[in-house]
């Protein structure tokens, strides 16, 4: 899960980033709306955590502008307001959920998972392509009844391909989805992850095919 945290309280934002990182997820931080707009233009996020009161504007305006641009990235609003009318307004503007400050991080993480499950085909528990089943919640794949565990980035890379089989993804697109902006990524990093996954699915009837000069796609073997 790649997350954008839009929060001007540095201690909270940094602690949230560390929390998500410890759980194997990538998180970028924007302390203001100007940077947030820039981040969503240049990279892909699975979910956005949005504060309302920011030094350069109201987070609700950010939410509204993203939805008007047809950006459907799930957004959870982090708010200190308790009024029912405020919550209704937030949801009506296009937020997927909200959480009241102060909150427990494990509750926020659970809300993130719930929002992503709703987005990914209504509580889908597994993905299948060819004779391979992918189980994101347990980070495993199963081939002909034989299960193998996946590391975090291996899982996220396979999710990309399983959600869009036969679609070509460039190295830049893959890097954008599995690394955060602050990560230092070597030139051959994607090749390393693809090689690992190829080894794990070598006994299946699917393959990560190299489209020379373009990228990779998940397809079935001839």
| Domain regions of the chain by residue span | 2-119, 127-220
Q: What is the pLDDT of residue 123?
A: 47
Q: What is the pLDDT of residue 121?
A: 58
Find the radius of gyration of the CA atoms of the chain: 19
Same fold, 2-119 and 127-220: no
| Number of neighbours of residue 82 by Cβ within 10 angstroms | 8
User: What phi-psi label fits residue 175: left (phi over 0), alpha (psi between -120 and 50 degrees) or beta?
Assistant: alpha
Determine the Cα–Cα distance for residues 214 and 163; give it in Å rounded to an integer.
19
| Number of neighbours of residue 197 by Cβ within 10 angstroms | 22
CB contact set of 141 (below 8 Å; sequence gap of 6+) = 132, 133, 134, 135, 147, 148, 150, 158, 200, 201
What is 127-220's CATH number, 3.40.50.300, 1.10.10.10, 1.25.40.10, 2.40.10.120? Answer: 1.10.10.10
Side-chain half-sphere exposure of 115, counting CA atoms within 13 A: 24
Torsion of CA 53, 59, 61, 65, to 10 degrees: 170
Give me the helices (H) in the chain, please.
10-22, 33-42, 59-68, 84-92, 105-119, 152-163, 171-178, 189-200
Residue 81, classified by CB atoms within 10 Å of its CB into exposed (0-12), middle (13-18) or buried (19+), is middle
Q: Which CATH superfamily is domain 2-119 in?
A: Response regulator (3.40.50.2300)
pTM for this predicted structure: 0.70
Give me the residues of the chain with pLDDT under 50, please. Answer: 122-123
Determine the Cα–Cα distance for residues 15 and 42; give it in Å rounded to an integer.
24
């Amino acid at each position: 899960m790649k997350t954008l945290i839009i929060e001007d309280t540095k201690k909270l934002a940094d602690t949230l980033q560390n929390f998500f990182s410890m759980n194997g997820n990538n998180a970028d931080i924007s302390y203001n709306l100007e940077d947030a707009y820039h981040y969503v233009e240049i990279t892909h996020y699975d979910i956005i955590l949005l504060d309302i009161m920011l030094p350069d504007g109201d987070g609700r305006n950010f939410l509204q502008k993203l939805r008007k641009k047809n950006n459907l990235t799930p957004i959870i609003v982090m708010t200190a307001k308790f009024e029912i009318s405020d919550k209704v307004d937030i949801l009506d503007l296009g937020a997927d959920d909200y959480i009241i400050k102060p909150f427990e991080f494990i509750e926020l993480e659970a809300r993130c998972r719930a929002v992503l499950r709703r987005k990914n085909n209504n509580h889908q528990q597994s993905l299948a392509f060819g004779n391979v089943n992918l189980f994101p919640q347990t980070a495993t794949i199963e081939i002909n009844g034989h299960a193998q565990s996946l590391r975090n980035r291996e899982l996220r890379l396979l999710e990309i391909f399983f959600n869009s089989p036969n679609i070509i993804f460039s190295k830049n697109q893959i890097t954008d989805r599995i690394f955060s902006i602050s990560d230092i990524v070597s030139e051959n990093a994607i090749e390393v992850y693809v090689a690992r996954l190829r080894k794990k699915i070598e006994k299946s009837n699917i393959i990560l095919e190299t489209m020379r000069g373009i990228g990779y796609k998940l397809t079935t073997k001839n």
